Chain A
Amino acid sequence: MPVDSRQLPEGRVGLADVCLVLEGTYPFVLGGVSSWVHQLVRDLPELTFHLWVIVADEAAAQRDPVYELPANVVGIDVVPLRAQPRRGAPERAVEGWARMLPDLTSALIGRGRSSFGAALARRAETGWPAVPPRLVLAHPLAFEHLQKVYASEAVHESFQRFFWTWVNSLTPVLELLGAGLPPARVYHSVTTGYAGLLAARARHETGRPMLLTEHGIYTKERRIEVGQARWIESADDGRVLASRRPPYFRQWWSRMFEGMSQLSYAAAAEILTIHHGNTALQLADGADERRLRVVPNGVDAGRIIAAAEAAPRRAADAPFCIGFVGRVAPIKDLETLLDAVALVRLELPEVRLRILGPTDEDPEYCARCAQHAERLGLAGSVTFEGPVDVAQALPTLDALVLTSVSEAQPLVLLEAGAAGIPAVATDVGACRELLQGRSGADRALGPAGFLTPIGAPRATADALLRLARDPALRQSFGAAGRARVTRFYAAGSMLAAYRATYARWLGMGEAA
């Protein structure tokens, strides 16, 4: 049900061409995927877009967009994954939802992907209203089914943990299946996961085509997150439980996210991704090879080059200045970056690290990073500066650094390339092809930076020191980067590809 359906100014109503299904990104959170979406919507003004945005909870649903919505956005529906429990629901509807659970869980965590359609069809036939997920899960039939699943695969696990894993993993799914469905001609999800599931549901219920774009590989990112989540296996007091509890509950979540991915892949007419590195993972997760396409992202290089040309030249004796551009979030692994800078500082006491990007996404993590910097004695060398205009900021840096444990195709590397700034990045996602080139002609341009392993402060520090001590190397990396971006990553080519893709599917079924 539309818990929060924002009304936009008059004139922005009607059937949207494209319903973009978004999860925790645009238009409420700054970041790579968000800027990509913003660019897509803004630069395809001939199409109308409806935004169907999944957020964590109702507090998040109350936030204001951080982007100014382009005029072709005709509506927004916000769906919180954890809504306040609403009281009262007809008993028959609650029971109906509870009866749907076996098909649903079989689709999500079992191997019965086809039962997803069956579950949705059953719901559509009976026309049950949406009910609070907790009421569904509290129904005796739901508890019976839970015990059946427990008996079939988890008899040696803690029942209470099983129960809560079950409740906490199914609550968002039920919330999504009950959410009001905005009409549109094409549903385009920008991740798999919850958004992919929601788009797959729209595909099943409306018969309209679904498109899927993946930047990072959702299941992989979730696996990393699930791995970092200590509390899955730890008792409340921080004591790690005996190893006779193998990572069953981690597996559960991973299976759940894989299940959602597979349902999204199965429902999508086209699966687009931004770099070749993703396709192998998508195939492994069950995507159909014939529907996979790679559409790399582009940047508006002209603006950045103009800003770089206009900026005053950096003084030769200025202290070596490293920049990080991105959200301060665990997946960026800023601890490794800080460790690396501490190592650099041993040899270059004047070194500066500027952290440029939003710090409000995970304040706890941000505080931890600040503490870590302090412990390393970097208090005077590191600054957290919040979001900045990247084009203006880049010319003030000597090198750009990324130590993420996972990335898709980080735009900031393209932007750094356009600005002529060398980069040091972990060998994840598209970083290798962005810094070293894909094809022969691309590779021939030469490297635009160094690649390092994940979680290796020494390697990062060494790369930074080499750049710091060798201005000529910085120059040649910068030149190669700029040449690569202008030749292979122009913003226009990405937009042209999406314009054509939408055109292919928008009219589907309408002539008939």
Chain B
Amino acid sequence: MAGIGFELRGAVAREAGLVERVRAWTAAGLISSGPWLATVAVLLYLHVAAPFLASGADYAQFRGLVTYAFAFSLISVGLLQMPVTRHLADRLWLGRHAEVLPGFVAVLALTGVVQAAVAACAAAALELPRAAALTGVALYVTCSWTWVSLVWLGAARDYGLVLRAYAYGGGATVLASCVPPLLRAIDAELAASFEGVSGLLAVFTLGQAVTLLLLASAVARGVRPSEERSAGVLASAAQHPRLLALGALYAVGMWADKFVFWAVDGVPLLGPLRHHPLYDACSFLAYGTVVPALALHLVRTETGFYERYRDFYAAITEDGTLAEVRAAKERMLRTLRGSVVRLVRLQAWFTLAALILAPEVLVRLGMPPAAVPVFRVLAVGAYFHVLFLLTVLVHLYFDRQRTALTAVGTFAVANTLLPFCAAAGSPGVYGVGYALAALIGLSVGFLGLLRDLGRLEWLTFERELRRP
């Protein structure tokens, strides 16, 4: 007989851990915002308690250094965050828990070495006093390790644990902040060495370290030790260059407007470092207003969306007809639309309340009246920003990395260019650059989403054909 056999096999690959992935992305979204908010609370406390510890100038310098430590550690760890999140979601779905801990240790070691070196060089360049340099390096490494731990815990989705860790960390800072005043009563000379910038840094770093210990030990507890190789997680980062770029671009985009303000309109902080106390303080507070949206998104995806999302892929892989696949898709999109509408509405109320209450609250927090208009525009910007972030998460749920990258890239560029113009204006328009950038990012992300969701069947199958 002549002729060649033919190939009939082929199935839409059962997507590795679909639901794991949605959950992991959601957690990643929250974690990129939540801890910062907890930290803002601690900073506010120190602001209030600072008179006991240090002068106003010391506090401003301290907050500037913390901001730098946060910004640069978040951006550098942000490089790893997305690929690692994806890697862990896939590992956990495969039930390969044993590979989790070695990867964690490897990444801790890597970030520890790199970040300590970076911070030591920075401290030397800034000619910081020995005590401030030591605590500064410790803070930078602690922050980096905390972000790494949070990435791992994101896969475990134990939000309560994260909350507790930050509560204990905050408590530790509060307790530690009482030590210098008490010491002063006993030995003034000794107490003096715990005051000023290095004192504040030490107190703050102690709290961060407590949080880190709790988080890291939770990661270690959550997984069994093993002899598995640890190369997997780093190799996985290399395999997902788009995710690498996505995490880094998002972190850069998020800080870009602050960098611009420091450079264009800021005041000297330390050596060549600059900061912009008004803009910085207002933007941190503005981020605080979007907590309800993040919390609601978590709840909605946990309760409704996962199921529908899984049903959609099940309709394909379990041999549904096209009509069944489309019906499942419609149900999923209806759930998604419902959640979005509810979230847009709820967050609008919270933002509105923040706008109205701004004069009252800001004054209570000891901010100047000029902060009110700045804060209001930034709060509107944060509203767009959180919607933009959630749009990007939905892109990632459907593995549309390219579209997500376009939106995040647009945001990063806009949030660099527009604040340049805004910084030249009066304080009333300071936040307009950021708010417009967030709106542009949201629009790009949303349009991409509309287009992708409309042709989701095609995208799902088309991807199968491009698989190597």
Chain A residues at the B interface, C-beta cutoff of 8 Å: 22-25, 31, 33, 54-56, 81-82, 85, 134-135, 137-138, 140, 143, 147, 150-151, 155-165, 167-169, 172, 190-191, 193-195, 215-216, 218, 221-222, 225, 229, 231-232, 236, 241, 249, 253, 329, 331, 406, 408
Contact = CB atoms under 8 A, between A and B. Distances in A.
26 contacts: A31-B2, A55-B4, A56-B4, A134-B465, A135-B465, A137-B465, A138-B462, A138-B465, A140-B458, A143-B458, A143-B462, A155-B323, A159-B320, A159-B321, A159-B322, A160-B12, A161-B319, A163-B12, A163-B461, A167-B10, A168-B8, A191-B2, A221-B3, A222-B6, A231-B9, A406-B1
A165 B461 CA distance: 13
Given A159-B322, A229-B8, A138 B2 contact: no
B321 A155 contact: yes
Given A147-B322, A159-B322, A191-B2, A134 B8 contact: no
B279 to A, nearest CB: 45
Given A190-B2, A216-B2, 13 more contacts: A23-B2, A150-B322, A157-B321, A159-B320, A163-B461, A167-B465, A168-B6, A169-B6, A191-B2, A191-B3, A221-B3, A249-B8, A253-B6
B317 interface: yes
B3 A193 contact: yes
Closest 3 CB pairs of A and B: A158-B319, A164-B10, A24-B4
Given A140-B455, A143-B458, A165 B8 contact: yes
Contacts of B7: 82, 168
B461 A143 contact: yes
Contacts of B150: none
Interface of B: 1-12, 316-317, 319-325, 455, 457-458, 461-462, 465-466, 468
A151 B323 CA distance: 10
B2 A236 contact: no
A232 B130 CA distance: 74
Contacts of A218: 2-3
B403 to A, nearest CB: 16
Contacts of A167: 10, 465
Given A25-B2, A159-B325, A191-B2, A168 B319 contact: no
Contacts of B316: 159-160
A467 B464 CA distance: 58
A166 B8 CA distance: 9
B2 A215 contact: yes
Contact of B1 (A134, A169, A194, A331): A331
A157 B10 CA distance: 15
Contacts of A408: 1
Contacts of B465: 134-135, 137-138, 167
Contact of B5 (A85, A158, A225, A236): A225
Contacts of B8: 164-165, 168, 229, 231-232, 249, 253
Contacts of A190: 2
B466 A138 contact: yes
A93 to B, nearest CB: 17
B1 A221 contact: yes
B101 to A, nearest CB: 33
A164 B3 contact: no
A433 to B, nearest CB: 19
Contacts of A31: 1-2
A156 B317 CA distance: 15
Contacts of A232: 8
A37 B250 CA distance: 65
A191 B457 CA distance: 38
Given A191-B3, A329-B1, A406-B1, A160 B323 contact: no
Contacts of B462: 138, 143
